[in-house]
Amino acid sequence: MEALRIELYDKVNALGIGAQGLGGMTTVLDVKILDYPTHAASLPVALIPNCAATRHIHFTLDGS
């Protein structure tokens, strides 16, 4: 399981997608694989895109 996690991490980062698709060396920060008994017809998968890369800013324009 650990070998698969490292393989996925390396291959996804090798794509060069980068944060928010803007290019770069780091596309994912980590890959987590959890193993639970499930029926073969249902394979739960979760993906959390841009969880650390999306930034927001707020400001007030005071006219000075």
In a domain, 50, yes or no: yes
| pLDDT above 70 coverage of the chain, percent | 84
Give residue 45's domain range: 1-55
Higher confidence at residue 54 or residue 16? Answer: 16
What is the distance between the alpha carbons of residues 15 and 45, in angstroms, rounded to a whole number?
20
Q: How many domains does the chain have?
A: 1
What is the distance between the alpha carbons of residues 4 and 11, in angstroms, rounded to a whole number?
10
Residue 55: predicted pLDDT? 62
Residue 59 phi/psi, 5-degree rounding, is -150, 160
Band of the pLDDT at 49, cuts 50, 70, 90? low
- pLDDT value at 11 more than 90: yes
In a domain, 2, yes or no: yes
In a domain, 62, yes or no: no
In a domain, 44, yes or no: yes
In a domain, 61, yes or no: no
